[in-house]
Structure 1
């Protein structure tokens, strides 16, 4: 089968199209999926983990040489214990235990890490959701999201941010989005109640206090956002950058409310997201679509920092 692997090591690693063996038959709790689409996530390059350590042991297992976490596709085989899916079901999801290896024509994944694809989405749209939407949903929950609370979403025009704005509005929160000048109207259209243009000055000193500060860019820390939090504010980070990864747990040790989102892929949360999509309260935002053979260009687009929503890699055209 065709799949995306790497050549070389370190930050100059390139993604290449290769011929690989198809996955082995599914285990008792697994499904085998014909992959129609996958998507790019900043964690792939922010942590320089997938690129630099594609063949490095993790515990007793080695990371799969095939890239990609999110997938959407069709079940073509299933294990003996699989009760939630049938052959031919359209599914979407990801596996955060190691890597889904979704940038390939076929992928094997646990039945507990996928859900039925929202009926009103294409495979490309569904593939854009799992990691970003789960990060948004679980991050807001961790911050204690509830109706009437205020949330500041830093990076509101990106892959996680566009979904966090919509999910927070569905939770009936007061949402303020931080983005650049060119994205103000775009984020407003997603449902944000208020907007901050970060190019106009240091809003961190002047924007007031919020119940939740959700930094989906991973560039901020509880200390840089201290004036936004007040005494009771809760800082949430996606944690992909060094200072944020270090400062957030240290801040919590001091008795402050600060957390990093550690995403878990559960079928129940994927079902919740699918319900939101089918009810019209959540819409995936796709920045661009690349064919499988242009995966390197898709990652370059994601690294540009100018994406509105998610970059999708189409494995099999709808």
Structure 2
């Protein structure tokens, strides 16, 4: 089968299209998926380009050469204890232990990590959802978001941010989205009640107080956002940058309401998202679509920091 693998480590790492043997051994609760689409997430290139520089021997030994987390496709085989999916079912999901290896024509994944694809979505749209949309859902939940909560979403126009704005609105929260000026109308179109153009000044000192500050850029900390947090305000980060990843737990030890969302894929959460999709409350935003052979270019697009929504990789020409 055709599959994308990573060659090299650190700043010289590149993605290459190769021929590899298809998965042959299924666990009792695994399904084999013919992958129609996958999507790009910062988690992959951050591991490959940054953590590997610091801990190359460890990363080389633990991370498989295959790439990709999100997938959408069709079940073509199943393990002996798979009871909820049939061959021919259209599904989507991910598994981050450590990777789904979804940039391949076929991928193996546990039935606990997938759900049936919403009928109203294309495979490309469904593939854009698992990591980013579940990060948004689980981050809002971890931060205590509830109907009426005043939520500030930093990075509202990106992959996680576009989902976070829509999900927060679906859960009846009051949403303020932070983005650049060129994306103000776009974020308002997602349903944000208010927007802030971060290029016009340091909004962190003047935007007021919020019940939940959800930083999906990973560049902020509870300290930099302290003026944004109300008396009982909660700070949540996606934790992809070093300062946020290591700093946020320290602030929590000091008694601050702060946390990092470490996303997991669970069928129950995917089905919650399905209900929002089918009710018209949630719509994936696709920035761009690349063929499998151009996966390196897709990741470079994601690294640019200028994406509106998700970058998707099409494996089936759908």
Report the TM-score range of the alignment, normalised by the length of the smaller protein.
over 0.9
| 3-state SS of 1:231 partner | strand
Report the counterpart of residue 304 of structure 1 in structure 2: 304
Check whether the contact 1:152–1:178 (CA below 8 A) recurs between aligned residues. Answer: yes
In the alignment, the residues of structure 1 paired with residue 144 and residue 46 of structure 2 have an alpha-carbon distance, to the nearest angstrom, of 27
Report the counterpart of residue 90 of structure 2 in structure 1: 90
In the alignment, the residues of structure 2 paired with residue 55 and residue 65 of structure 1 have an alpha-carbon distance, to the nearest angstrom, of 13
**Alignment gaps of 5+ in structure 1:** none
Give the drift of 1:80.
0.3
| 3-state SS of 2:45 partner | helix
In the alignment, the residues of structure 2 paired with residue 230 and residue 82 of structure 1 have an alpha-carbon distance, to the nearest angstrom, of 47
In the alignment, the residues of structure 2 paired with residue 210 and residue 188 of structure 1 have an alpha-carbon distance, to the nearest angstrom, of 18
In the alignment, the residues of structure 2 paired with residue 22 and residue 268 of structure 1 have an alpha-carbon distance, to the nearest angstrom, of 29
Aligned CA distance change for structure 1 residues 141 and 297 (closer, same or farther; 3 Å): same
Aligned CA distance change for structure 1 residues 99 and 62 (closer, same or farther; 3 Å): same
Check whether the contact 1:55–1:65 (CA below 8 A) recurs between aligned residues. Answer: no
Report the counterpart of residue 114 of structure 1 in structure 2: 114
In the alignment, the residues of structure 2 paired with residue 49 and residue 27 of structure 1 have an alpha-carbon distance, to the nearest angstrom, of 31
In the alignment, the residues of structure 2 paired with residue 145 and residue 230 of structure 1 have an alpha-carbon distance, to the nearest angstrom, of 14
Q: State how 1:1-318 maps to structure 2 within 5 Å.
A: 1-48=1-48, 52=52, 62-318=62-318
Aligned CA distance change for structure 1 residues 40 and 119 (closer, same or farther; 3 Å): same
Give the drift of 1:27.
1.3
RMSD: 1.7
CA deviations over 1:255-303 (Å, ceiling 9, x no partner): 1100000111111111111111111110000000000000000001000
More helix by share: 2
In the alignment, the residues of structure 1 paired with residue 243 and residue 300 of structure 2 have an alpha-carbon distance, to the nearest angstrom, of 24
Q: TM-score, with normalisation over the residues of structure 1?
A: 0.96
In the alignment, the residues of structure 2 paired with residue 46 and residue 295 of structure 1 have an alpha-carbon distance, to the nearest angstrom, of 15
In the alignment, the residues of structure 2 paired with residue 177 and residue 244 of structure 1 have an alpha-carbon distance, to the nearest angstrom, of 20
In the alignment, the residues of structure 1 paired with residue 129 and residue 47 of structure 2 have an alpha-carbon distance, to the nearest angstrom, of 20
Q: TM-score, with normalisation over the residues of structure 2?
A: 0.96
Give the drift of 1:43.
1.3
In the alignment, the residues of structure 1 paired with residue 269 and residue 306 of structure 2 have an alpha-carbon distance, to the nearest angstrom, of 28
In the alignment, the residues of structure 2 paired with residue 106 and residue 210 of structure 1 have an alpha-carbon distance, to the nearest angstrom, of 44
Check whether the contact 1:152–1:176 (CA below 8 A) recurs between aligned residues. Answer: yes
Greater displacement, 19-28 / 143-152: 19-28
| 3-state SS of 2:115 partner | strand
Matched residues, number: 317
Check whether the contact 1:302–1:311 (CA below 8 A) recurs between aligned residues. Answer: yes
Aligned CA distance change for structure 1 residues 285 and 243 (closer, same or farther; 3 Å): same
In the alignment, the residues of structure 2 paired with residue 47 and residue 290 of structure 1 have an alpha-carbon distance, to the nearest angstrom, of 21
**Alignment gaps of 5+ in structure 2:** none
Check whether the contact 2:9–2:48 (CA below 8 A) recurs between aligned residues. Answer: no
| 3-state SS of 1:184 partner | helix
Aligned CA distance change for structure 1 residues 292 and 310 (closer, same or farther; 3 Å): same
In the alignment, the residues of structure 2 paired with residue 244 and residue 64 of structure 1 have an alpha-carbon distance, to the nearest angstrom, of 26
In the alignment, the residues of structure 2 paired with residue 130 and residue 43 of structure 1 have an alpha-carbon distance, to the nearest angstrom, of 13
CA deviations over 1:152-192 (Å, ceiling 9, x no partner): 00000000000000000001000000000000000000000
Greater displacement, 153-162 / 63-72: 63-72
Give the drift of 1:317.
1.3
Aligned CA distance change for structure 1 residues 226 and 50 (closer, same or farther; 3 Å): closer
